[in-house]
């Protein structure tokens, strides 16, 4: 099914190419599918992931007091929390746990960072 979609997408000139994730079929083996991801998109996501890992590392070490743990937990999603506060979603933020907040706020952040890097890489490839 995937090979049909890929071949039909190539044959239709009105579909714009999407370079965020490129799916290619192998010439030697028709069952093998390789996925090429944007290097610049991953490069944009890496510092944010390292910052998150550092903050969670400080919290898990246990050498900081409760207020510092709260600050380190809040730092990776502080901008998203400020946006939610600005939009008036304070009541919704009171009932979600930290893992839910991380999943809710970090996923779009990683998607936006990756998309920004992939679009910049696509523009640089066109030059």
Query: Do 28 and 45 fall into the same domain?
Result: no
Q: What is the pTM of this model?
A: 0.66
Structure confidence by residue, pLDDT tens digits, 17-52: 444 555 555 555 555 555 678 889 899 999 999 999
Residue 64: predicted pLDDT: 79
CA 85 centroid distance within chain: 22
Structure confidence by residue, pLDDT tens digits, 44-75: 999 999 999 999 888 888 777 888 888 888 89
Query: Do 25 and 47 fall into the same domain?
Result: no
Which domain, by its residues, includes 28?
A: 2-37
Residue 29: predicted pLDDT: 56
Residue 5: predicted pLDDT: 43
Query: Do 114 and 55 fall into the same domain?
Result: yes
Query: Do 102 and 57 fall into the same domain?
Result: yes
Spell out the alpha helix ranges (H) of the chain: 2-11, 39-61, 66-74, 78-86, 90-95, 98-126
Query: Do 32 and 46 fall into the same domain?
Result: no
Query: Do 93 and 31 fall into the same domain?
Result: no
Residue 24: predicted pLDDT: 55
CB 93 within 8 A of CB 81: yes
Query: Do 26 and 64 fall into the same domain?
Result: no
For the chain, how many structural domains are there in total?
2
Rounded Cα distance, 40 and 37, in Å: 9
- Range with top average pLDDT, 12-16, 35-39, 71-75, 109-113: 109-113
Query: Do 50 and 84 fall into the same domain?
Result: yes
Query: Do 51 and 68 fall into the same domain?
Result: yes
Query: Do 115 and 59 fall into the same domain?
Result: yes
């Amino acid at each position: 099914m995937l090979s049909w979609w890929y071949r039909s997408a190539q044959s239709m000139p009105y579909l714009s190419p999407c370079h965020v994730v490129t799916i290619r079929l192998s010439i030697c083996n028709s069952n093998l599918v390789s996925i090429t991801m944007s290097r610049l998109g991953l490069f944009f996501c890496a510092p944010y992931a390292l910052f998150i890992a550092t903050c969670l590392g400080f919290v898990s070490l246990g050498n900081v007091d409760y207020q510092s743990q709260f600050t380190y937990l809040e730092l990776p999603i502080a901008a998203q929390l400020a946006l939610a506060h600005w939009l008036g979603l304070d009541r919704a933020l009171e009932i979600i746990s930290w893992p839910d907040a991380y999943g809710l706020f970090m996923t779009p952040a990683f998607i936006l960072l990756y998309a920004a890097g992939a679009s910049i890489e696509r523009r640089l490839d066109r030059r």
